[in-house]
Amino acid sequence: MAFSLIGDDTAQFIAPTPIPDPYWVAVSPRAAELIQLPLGADRLPIDPDWLAVLAGNRLEVGDIAFPNPMATVYSGHQFGHWAGQLGDGRAILLGDLHGQELQLKGAGITRYSRMGDGRAVLRSSIREFLCSEAMHALGIPTTRALSVVGSKQGVRRETMETAAVCARLAPSFIRIGHFEHFAALGSTQRLRELANDLIQNHYPECQHKNGPFLELFKAISERSAKLVAHWQAVGFCHGVLNSDNISALGLTMDYGPFGFLDHTALNHICNHTDTGGRYAYHRQPQIMHWNMACLANAMIPLIEKESPSEDAADLLRGALSAFPPSYEAHWLTLFRKKLGLEAEASGDMNLIEHLLQLMHANRADFTTTFRLLAAIEKNASALDSGWRDQFADREGADEWLNMYRIRLEQENTTDDQRKIQMNRVNPKYILRNHLAQQAIVLAQADDFSGVNTLLDILSNPFDEQPAYDAYAQAPLPNEVVTDLSCSS
Ligand code: AMP
Ligand code: MG
């Protein structure tokens, strides 16, 4: 467990509050592998005691025991404003298993629950479970989800719903908000412990350099820049990029009102509570940069001690300025791959931007458009039509296609090679909100087949799965999910 967070001022040692009559909703076989948890043919843990453990009702199973479950304290900026102390208000860390921390979200009230009930609902737990595993399969750094366990216990949100517990896994759940918390308290000792914990356990490359704390800042910022480039490349909108939801390990974390772009709107806001669009799709890179500024600010006391002869704020400002070019470089690399481009040509950025603007203007489906682009050959053919059909503005589409074909002349790959490479990076299947919603509605009626089917499809997002073609389709107008809020 994060040793830097063990202490009376940093955490509360508290057992989860049991939930009545827990039942399995789903288990992720790949996440189970991570902690070497054996599953049976029914895809559930062979040892039935795991149900009680992952419900928060029991603290040992076989020869594994979790003697010190705990909730940690952090603070943070929410929607651009300092929110003061927050903390694990409904997440309880059970302990470590094979290098992963096992945390139960929705495990009951802690010292940090404030006005909350410590619970999570089935709906949001299924969404977090599916998206964590889908993101991992897409090759995007993320906390993982091992299981969802349900209970008929009622939980009040906008309407009455039922409780669930999502078991999450990550090498560490340390957030930018942890740094901000100790910085706000003026506790440089705690900040140092936190930074050393990260360096020792997660950023060993920072250990031997002069100024390891500045190196740590650079490394976190670099991972975060890469992470947000990944999000942009699959059309993922996080929805609540508050600094308390930003991992210090560069993982996607705290899935709430997230959404993938369907009909492309670059200013898409997936969280309807976010009326100003602070966390809209096209603002995510800027916002991640802003969150890194929060981290830099929190780390000033560490850098002051580390480099007393220099201006700590200046050093951090310098390090922070590496974020935009790093993000841009990752973005360009990822989008070049999406277009099947191996060479680097100076006009590539414009070519990609032009395509995104065209998709935006035509509300082309983000995932389908990139997936179908692989069918385009160096010479115009009947295969063009699938891709062109994504655009009402055929002239605009053809204009772009011409530029793309001219650009392809600089490539040494054959059409077939390019198609294979593009299909490895442009998913066919993503967790579309309407699909998650359909699985949730079934699960709310105790049918978990929809959750498990989606989990299986999304575990192989780049493969053609002909039986599941319908799951690759954009939502019909009546299927679009429009009212996702922070309520979870
Ligand atoms: P989130 O918006 O889920 O990232 O949560 C922001 C803060 O509110 C975190 O400190 C959470 O632990 C806390 N929180 C959210 N929902 C609840 C709840 N139902 N009960 C207690 N705390 C909660
Ligand atoms: Mg959160």
- The string of pLDDT tens digits covering residues 222-246 is 999 999 999 999 999 999 999 999 9
For residues 432 and 262, the answer to whether their CB atoms sit within 8 Å is: yes
Identify the CA nearest to 302 among candidates 381, 388, 199, 191. Answer: 191
* Annotated catalytic residue, options 88, 244, 274, 415: 244
Annotation marks residue 384 as catalytic: no
Instruction: State the pLDDT at residue 483.
Output: 75
For residues 120 and 163, the answer to whether their CB atoms sit within 8 Å is: yes
CA of 78 to the centre of ligand 1 (A): 12
CA angle 482, 136, 271 (to 5 degrees): 20
Report the pocket of ligand 1 as residue ranges, CB < 6 Å.
86-90, 113, 116-119, 240, 245, 254, 256, 486
Write out the two tokens for 277: 């669009």
Which of 75, 90, 180, 244, when mutated, tests ligand 1's pocket best, judged by the most ligand atoms within 8 Å of its CB? 90
For residues 129 and 148, the answer to whether their CB atoms sit within 8 Å is: yes
Query: pLDDT digit string (tens) for 394-450?
Result: 999 999 999 999 999 999 999 999 999 999 999 999 999 999 999 999 999 999 999
The C-alpha atoms of residue 76 and residue 84 are separated, in whole angstroms, by 6
Mean pLDDT of all residues in 142-151 = 99
Three-class secondary structure of residue 343 per DSSP: coil
The C-alpha atoms of residue 290 and residue 221 are separated, in whole angstroms, by 11
CA of 191 to the centre of ligand 2 (A): 20
Three-class secondary structure of residue 221 per DSSP: helix
Instruction: State the pLDDT at residue 208.
Output: 84
CA of 143 to the centre of ligand 2 (A): 13
The C-alpha atoms of residue 95 and residue 266 are separated, in whole angstroms, by 40
Ligand 1 nearest atom to the CA of residue 74, by list position: 10
User: For residue 8, is pLDDT > 90?
Assistant: no
Instruction: State the pLDDT at residue 460.
Output: 98
Query: pLDDT digit string (tens) for 21-75?
Result: 999 999 999 999 999 999 999 999 999 999 999 999 999 999 999 999 999 999 9
Write out the two tokens for 59: 């603290």
Average pLDDT across the chain, whole number: 97
User: For residue 386, is pLDDT > 90?
Assistant: yes
Look up the pTM and report it.
Answer: 0.98
The C-alpha atoms of residue 336 and residue 37 are separated, in whole angstroms, by 39
Confidence of residue 484 (pLDDT cuts 50, 70, 90): confident
CA distances from 312 to 177, 188, 205, 220, 306 (A): 20, 14, 21, 17, 9
For residues 219 and 203, the answer to whether their CB atoms sit within 8 Å is: yes
Confidence of residue 110 (pLDDT cuts 50, 70, 90): very high
Helix (H) / strand (E) containing 78: strand 75-78
User: For residue 269, is pLDDT > 80?
Assistant: yes
Among the bound ligands, name the one nearest to the CA of residue 73.
1
CA of 281 to the centre of ligand 2 (A): 19
Instruction: State the pLDDT at residue 123.
Output: 97
CA distances from 471 to 260, 386, 467 (A): 14, 18, 9
CB atoms within 10 A of CB 134: 26
User: For residue 1, is pLDDT > 80?
Assistant: no
The C-alpha atoms of residue 385 and residue 372 are separated, in whole angstroms, by 10
Ligand 1 nearest atom to the CA of residue 117, by list position: 20
Mean pLDDT of all residues in 285-298 = 98
Instruction: State the pLDDT at residue 335.
Output: 99
75-78 and 100-105: which strand pairing?
A: unpaired
